[in-house]
Copies of this chain bind each other. A is one copy, B any other.
Amino acid sequence: MMHNNHVGLTIKYLALDGRAPRNDDVFSTLMAVVFGFFFLVSASFSIAKEEVDYVNPFIGTSNFGATHPGAQYPHGLASVAPFNVAFEEGKLNKFEKDAAWNSRVYIHENQFLTGFTHLNLSGVGCPEAGVINVMPTTGKLELNPEYYGSTYSNEIATPGYYSTILNDYDIQTEVTSTLRTGLSRFTYPKGESHIIVNLGLGLSNEQGASVKVVSNQEIEGMRTLGTFCYNADDVRPVYFVAKLSKPAKRFGVFKQAPAYKGVEGEWIGYNNTVKPYPNYQHTMAGDDIGAYFSFDLKDQEQVQIKVGLSFVSIDNARENLEKEQPRFAFESTRKKARKAWQEKLEKINVSGKDEDKTLFYTGLYHTLIHPNIIQDVNGQYPLMGRYGVGQTTKDQNRYSVFSLWDTNRNVHPLLSLIYPDLQSEMVNTMVGMYKESGWLPKWELYGMETQVMVGDPATPVIADTYLRGIQDFDVATAYEAMTKSADTILENPLRPENNDYLKLGYVPVDDEGPYDGSVSTSLEYFLADFSLGQLASALGKEQDAERYLARAQGYKKLYDPTTKMLRPKDRKGQWLTPYDPELGRNFEPAPGYIEGNAWNYRFYVPHDMPGLMVLLGGENEFETELSKTFTTDNFDMANEPDITYPFLFNYTNAHQSKTSEHVKALIEEHFHNTPGGLPGNDDTGTLSAWLVFSMMGIYPVSPADMDYAVFAPTFDKITLTLDKNYYEGKKLTIISSNRVDASQLHTRATFNGKPLETPFISHLELTKGGRLEIHR
């Protein structure tokens, strides 16, 4: 997703990046063959295969998946990713970073690499970060990335490690990372060699950096970031310190010189070109600047560069670097990163085909990238939405990059199930953001609210977390934050339409901009109010509960019996006319809907499927219409509003098996062990979380609803080690079995030997541990 709801900014059609053009398939397949070879080479090095060895970081690097194969840590602030989206458009690079709303630092079918970036987002829908670009070169110093870029070969990527050979230079590049730092090791041929740190070239729409050469082995500086999804107000710097393993023989900074006119242009020496400033040791500032270090090396000599980041200060970036990488120890750093991933991934053990394991663990890997930590080793972090520095308490992490319109659906429920300690820290972070800024986050990015997308998605996340039994946060303040958002009528940044909504019970289409999505927004509010009502009830606030739960029924006011759609309605109660429920299927503007059409939102009342079923005319009518979604090509696997649809068959009595059928078919169609093996933008792990749950045979149908839909898992056996602090630490085993009698209604699954009454099982039951046996 990538819609910007920021007041006053005209927002248009943004979603193209999230979808795969259909003519891309042949190329993707070709690239998959090429890529598969190197992945096998890489994988074959492993002796005893651990969970981490199944991860293929190339998945999602084509087909607009927007992941990258770079080295990263679970929930790491820094990462080191190959950057191949600049220049050579239409030649070596099929997709250029500025050609559309390109949100990717790496695209698998591109071939022209211009460095390794140290702050990267994974699975987002707008260009951002992709900065602090480090490139090794040889020969005469060239500082223009258009000329110093290179093709590359022999790519290897495993969690926490990436390597490739730069063809133009015969340099082997290897990168790894820690939480807040990156480390690159370059193995050079004999001769004059360089490391270029480019602070101009990046993915972010913002420009501007400063850099200072501290010594012949060290630089420091900052790079401005922001304007994410074209929100002009979302801007802040990231600070860095970079250190070299070897003193440079020569060094300097550089800057893109402006285009001088007339005689000045003839005289200036560097006119509209990159100007070097050899030995410059003052601070240099500009739109397009960088630094370089040069060496005279022996053959196969290695030079390493480590880069520390901070969102607080250069001093903190230096401290991060010194604490996390006191030495230049590439192999041990790489091993630590691998171990960090393994410790996360081994919480789930699966038995099944290797190919499925690759999809599964890569999916899990992708759900563990964002939100990422943002505090420095000393605990300091940028205050939410304002200037100043916060301080974490001991051992508490502060997170950032909350794409909540996406992740409230399944990423946070997944974290709550498998990593409740992390989910607790994330909710604590969200409550902290409220304390600092006055509002819960919606699409938070590096300490700034970007106002991207619609709805009030923090409330479902927090309520859901509490209800799942994760309650070690400031519940009173969290509740205050959620009710503030739910009840503030005017100047409510989370619910700008709350005035109308509270009066009418829905958001009217009247004042809707071309991309506000009155129905979409209403549905998000209903779900948030349902979540808040459930929480209120759990907290014994019965009056609040009644009020919010009543609001959540507002969807019925948008149900149009004629079209059987949730249809845009104006303030006077008149339906939007003319009305085409197919409009929006190709992400064109569709009144009432954002990033989708009426079909995509038609069943998006996950908190009250029985109610919707009644409106539609009963179970059979519901099943017919739900099935029609798939047969008429109105189901979109690559975007969020409808990704719950396959599981909704579980709400019927007669058609429950269709859930398993659809899930199996969708996995087979859309998820592969290839770069194009994600159906579209991963949306900070949301599509991957869909895959992880789906392969496990359970899916959380609605935030604040404790029931998982149960259906046939992909694996023979899945074993979860449940957290001992939140769930008593028992094991949960999910078995795909023929022993369950599929012909008997309500008994397609058993839990600890007892048939399930319905094809759902409560989180609270499940997390007691035991054996869930599901008919395959």
- Interfacial residues, chain A to chain B (CB-CB below 8 A): 9-10, 12, 14, 98-101, 127, 205, 207-210, 222, 224, 227, 230, 232-233, 235-237, 255, 258, 260-264, 266-270, 275, 277-278, 280-289, 387
Q: Given the known A-B contacts A208-B284, A263-B100, A285-B209, are A275 and B224 also in contact in the complex, defined by CB atoms under 8 Å? A: no
User: Within the assembled complex, what's the spacing in Å between the Cα atoms of A224 and B284?
Assistant: 7
Q: Given the known A-B contacts A230-B268, A287-B258, are A387 and B99 also in contact in the complex, defined by CB atoms under 8 Å? A: no
Q: Can you list 7 A-B contacts (CB < 8 A)?
A: A127-B264, A208-B284, A210-B285, A222-B285, A232-B269, A258-B287, A282-B387
Tell me which of B101, B278, B282 contacts A263 (CB under 8 A): B101
**Secondary structure class of chain A's binding surface, majority of residues:** loop
Tell me which residues across on chain B come within 8 A of A127, comparing CB atoms: 264
Question: A127 — nearest CB in chain B belongs to which residue?
Answer: B264
Tell me which residues across on chain B come within 8 A of A263, comparing CB atoms: 100-101
Question: A221 — nearest CB in chain B belongs to which residue?
Answer: B285
Question: A289 — nearest CB in chain B belongs to which residue?
Answer: B208
Let me know if A285 and B285 touch, CB within 8 A. Answer: yes
User: Within the assembled complex, what's the spacing in Å between the Cα atoms of A100 and B263?
Assistant: 6
Beyond A98-B262, A207-B255, 12 additional pairs, beta carbon < 8 A: A14-B267, A100-B264, A208-B255, A210-B283, A210-B285, A224-B284, A224-B286, A227-B269, A230-B268, A233-B278, A235-B280, A258-B287
Let me know if A268 and B210 touch, CB within 8 A. Answer: no
Let me know if B205 and A260 touch, CB within 8 A. Answer: yes
Tell me which of B9, B205, B267, B280 contacts A12 (CB under 8 A): B267
Q: Given the known A-B contacts A235-B277, A269-B232, A281-B387, are A101 and B264 also in contact in the complex, defined by CB atoms under 8 Å? A: yes
User: Within the assembled complex, what's the spacing in Å between the Cα atoms of A260 and B98?
Assistant: 8
In the assembled complex, the CB of A252 is this many whole angstroms from the nearest CB of chain B, namely 10
Let me know if B287 and A287 touch, CB within 8 A. Answer: yes
Let me know if A207 and B282 touch, CB within 8 A. Answer: no
Tell me which residues across on chain B come within 8 A of A270, comparing CB atoms: 232
Tell me which of B101, B236, B258 contacts A207 (CB under 8 A): B258
Let me know if A285 and B208 touch, CB within 8 A. Answer: yes
Tell me which residues across on chain B come within 8 A of A230, comparing CB atoms: 267-269
User: Within the assembled complex, what's the spacing in Å between the Cα atoms of A224 and B269?
Assistant: 17
Tell me which residues across on chain B come within 8 A of A12, comparing CB atoms: 266-267
Question: A231 — nearest CB in chain B belongs to which residue?
Answer: B269
Q: Given the known A-B contacts A9-B269, A267-B14, are A208 and B286 also in contact in the complex, defined by CB atoms under 8 Å? A: yes
Tell me which residues across on chain B come within 8 A of A222, comparing CB atoms: 283, 285
Tell me which residues across on chain B come within 8 A of A287, comparing CB atoms: 258, 286-288
Q: Given the known A-B contacts A208-B255, A210-B210, A267-B14, are A283 and B237 also in contact in the complex, defined by CB atoms under 8 Å? A: yes
Question: A11 — nearest CB in chain B belongs to which residue?
Answer: B267
Tell me which of B98, B268, B275, B289 contacts A261 (CB under 8 A): B98
Question: A9 — nearest CB in chain B belongs to which residue?
Answer: B269
Let me know if A268 and B227 touch, CB within 8 A. Answer: yes
In the assembled complex, the CB of A125 is this many whole angstroms from the nearest CB of chain B, namely 12
Tell me which residues across on chain B come within 8 A of A232, comparing CB atoms: 269-270, 275
In the assembled complex, the CB of A438 is this many whole angstroms from the nearest CB of chain B, namely 15
User: Within the assembled complex, what's the spacing in Å between the Cα atoms of A283 and B208?
Assistant: 10
Tell me which residues across on chain B come within 8 A of A233, comparing CB atoms: 277-278
In the assembled complex, the CB of A5 is this many whole angstroms from the nearest CB of chain B, namely 14
User: Within the assembled complex, what's the spacing in Å between the Cα atoms of A387 and B214?
Assistant: 11
From A205, A278, A285, residue with most partner B Cβ within 10 Å: A285
